[in-house]
Structure 1
Amino acid sequence: MRYVLVTETYPPEVNGVALTVHGLACGLRVRGHAVCVVRPRQPAEAARPHDADELRLPGAPLPRYPGLRFGLPAAARLRRAWRACRPDAVYVATEGPLGASALRAAKALDIPVATGFHTRFDRYMRDYGLPWLAPVAWRWMRRFHDGADATLVPTAELASELQRAGVRRVLRLPRAVDTALFDPRRRDETLRAGWGARPQGPVVLHVGRIAPEKNLELAVRAFRALQRHRPQARMVWVGDGPARARLQRAHPDFVFCGVQRGEALARHFASGDLFVFPSRSETFGNVTLEAMASGVATVAFDTGAAREHLADGKHGHVVRDGDEAAFVEATVALGCDDARREAMGWAARAAAAALDPAHVAAAFDRLLQRLADGRTHAAPAVA
């Protein structure tokens, strides 16, 4: 089969959408399919003609999101490319101008197309001080996804939410984690020493974009509450974003490691003692699975990956969505109980071992093949 995946973000950019799409592309190729990724050209890349693996198109910086770009409209270019080499199915991962162009081009050529619901842009509007744009963003997203033959979501929770909101043809495609990469054995005592970690105090870890939509002030409050009981505790931030400079100025004792990739990221995960994830704007949150695979107990709200995969009291604590006092309390409880926290980390690792990327790639393949065969109202790829 010949598939095209369209995305406005892709490695070396580091975010959940980029890494998920990259994993899907690799998984399909391993299964023997021809896969072309359509994406914006990144600043350090030279222009190059369309080849079998990638079509890089013009893009522009994403406002208020330094380091990320969006693709410019390219429907005519995509129609020409797909007439010359017709794909069996198209997957559009992002709702930006490039994604919208791909959706229009696929429909114009009668090519089956699925979309992915990865990001709650409507909720981001509130976090960036633009609440009046939230309904506009939601109307755009609903109209966009209703133009596809299927909308893929990572959790049963999100599938139900979109169906209640009137989005049609919603199918669940779960996520996975690379347990060979994210592994407790990558724990690095030299790295921990560089953070100033002490046996008397745990390392509390946050991994992700340092940005307003991540609800980071709650992570700060939870850590400071723990620190009153464990004065030697350390707070380590992995990632970058527009809120980093302000956070770093306000809390000079915090450790900021910047963006980490691959094995370096895996070492950072495994070298933490407690992962806190206060975000309420995620459709999933891949970092939750990465923490689990790394053997690190987690505190998160009852949404996205935490609701789907994190067992409260077994792998960490899953807090009722929006209950910030309970989030702080859970962080303090686990931060003060070394033996229980370690046991939870090992239990989380065991649970993550079943989340096989090859299984997800196979499910994605089956779903796209059903679309190509005209079975657009098939049952979910994975129950």
Structure 2
Amino acid sequence: MRILVISDAWHPQINGVVTTLTNTRRALENSGHTVEIITPDRFRTWPCPGYPAVRLAFLCGPCLRPLIEAFRPDAIHIVTEGPVGFAARRYCREKGYAYTTSYHSHFHEYLKLRAGIPLSVSWTYLRWFHCRSHRIMVATDSLEQELASKGFRRLVRWSRGVDTELFRPWGKTFLDDQRPIFLYAGRVAVEKNVEDFLRLDLPGTRYVVGDGPQRRELETKYPNVRFVGYQTGEALARHMAAAGVMVFPSRTDTFGLVMLEALACGVPVAAYPVRATRDVIIDGRVGILDNDLRQAALKALSLDPQECRQYAQQFSWEACSRQFVENLVPMRMRTD
């Protein structure tokens, strides 16, 4: 099958969406599919307000259309609700092509935190964006229930996986600091609630692996915390594996792929008992969920790394890619 994927999120961004697309494409191609991903790097871009490292391809429609037609896809999937996704949706609607979409991030909560945009306004846009999709792919049961309560229809499951060859117990000597080591990995931005982790009174050393618009401010405010910036590949896996606990302070994520990566490294998770964490940490032997994040982090130190590793090995990108293909629809099927 010739599968066209359209996304506003792509390299050099480092986030769950990009990781999901990268690994899904690899698994699909290994299964014999031909995959093309159209992303903002194909067009003229502008920095995202408040987050200049993210580039947005406004008014990309005229350049996007010939790229779609040249690829001659059998199925079209729109990943994100940004400018490139908007242009792809418009093209499909004008041509009468069927398409699927996926819901990855609670942008309505991000926009409220960053710009004060009312949740009702963002929800209205998101419902409109997805309303003509033949299937809306979501990662978890709780997210499906939440979207259904907001009026979204035709929801189906597209789970997530982890590369257990890369993310594995590499050993603890990679980080030479006072132990225990508590580590956060992800975007350093207000919507990730990183400061809840930084404020904790914890023994040992705290690490922040990642970058983002809040990094400079938080690095200055918390000089005793190790900020090491974005890490990728083996360097990221070794940082994770060297920690004693992965602390996940976000209250807005829809999945939190980094938790699976930590577990695959044999590192237990401490987090708030919210939507995303309850979907991933369903076994109390691999993570502690508590509204007292400090207590969660301290209790997680006693969990068995081997149990964490075994739990993560249940998730594979091959299984996720099969789900993805099953959810696709032929682009030339009849649309309403």
Q: Same fold (TM over 0.5)?
A: yes
1:174 matches 2:159: yes
Contact 1:155 1:304 in 2 (8 A): no
Look up the match of 1:313. 284
Which range moved further: 73-82 or 357-366?
73-82
Partner secondary structure for residue 242 of structure 1: coil
1:286 matches 2:257: yes
1:295 is aligned, of 266, 271, 277, to 266
Q: Deviations over 1:260-307 (max 9, x none)?
A: 001110101101101110101111111111111111010112345422
Look up the match of 1:208. 186
Letter in 2 for 1:104: R
Look up the match of 2:6. 6
Letter in 1 for 2:138: V
Q: Deviations over 1:84-142 (max 9, x none)?
A: 442111111111111010011122223321111111111112322x3343322221111
Q: Quote the Cα distance in structure 2 between the aligned partners of 1:275 and 1:16.
A: 16
Look up the match of 2:45. 59
**Structure 2: any 5+ residue segments left out of the alignment?**
none
Look up the match of 1:87. 73
Distance 1:293 1:375, change over 3 A: farther
| CA RMSD, 1 decimal | 1.9
Contact 2:6 2:79 in 1 (8 A): yes
Look up the match of 2:320. 360
Q: Normalising by structure 2, what TM-score?
A: 0.94
Partner secondary structure for residue 112 of structure 1: coil
Look up the match of 1:349. 309
Percent identity of equivalent pairs: 34
Look up the match of 2:231. 260
Distance 1:83 1:246, change over 3 A: closer
Look up the match of 2:88. 102
1:187 matches 2:164: no
Q: Normalising by structure 1, what TM-score?
A: 0.83
1:165 matches 2:150: yes
Q: Quote the Cα distance in structure 1 between the aligned partners of 2:85 and 2:218.
A: 33
1:24 matches 2:24: yes
Partner secondary structure for residue 51 of structure 2: coil
Contact 1:314 1:348 in 2 (8 A): yes
Partner secondary structure for residue 86 of structure 2: helix
1:247 matches 2:213: no
Q: Quote the Cα distance in structure 1 between the aligned partners of 2:58 and 2:306.
A: 45
- Count of aligned pairs between the two proteins: 335
1:203 Cα deviation after fit? 0.1
> Looking at CA atoms only, which structure, 1 or 2, has the larger radius of gyration?
1
Contact 2:97 2:333 in 1 (8 A): no
Contact 2:266 2:307 in 1 (8 A): yes
1:80 Cα deviation after fit? 3.1
Partner secondary structure for residue 354 of structure 1: coil
Contact 2:288 2:299 in 1 (8 A): no
1:331 matches 2:297: yes
1:187 Cα deviation after fit? 2.3
Q: Quote the Cα distance in structure 2 between the aligned partners of 1:353 and 1:332.
A: 25
1:79 Cα deviation after fit? 3.0
1:348 Cα deviation after fit? 1.5
Q: Quote the Cα distance in structure 2 between the aligned partners of 1:187 and 1:82.
A: 46
Partner secondary structure for residue 257 of structure 1: strand
Alignment of structure 1 residues 268-279 onto 2, 5 Å: 268-279=239-250
**Structure 1: any 5+ residue segments left out of the alignment?**
42-55, 228-232, 377-383
Which range moved further: 302-311 or 263-272?
302-311
Partner secondary structure for residue 152 of structure 2: coil
Contact 1:79 1:109 in 2 (8 A): no
Q: Quote the Cα distance in structure 1 between the aligned partners of 2:182 and 2:69.
A: 52
1:170 Cα deviation after fit? 1.0
Q: Deviations over 1:49-83 (max 9, x none)?
A: xxxxxxx2222211111311122233333333334
Letter in 1 for 2:20: T
Alignment of structure 1 residues 38-53 onto 2, 5 Å: 38-41=38-41
Q: Deviations over 1:18-44 (max 9, x none)?
A: 111122222221111111110111xxx
Partner secondary structure for residue 276 of structure 1: strand
Q: Deviations over 1:299-346 (max 9, x none)?
A: 112345422231353102123xxx3xx2222223334xxxx23x1x22
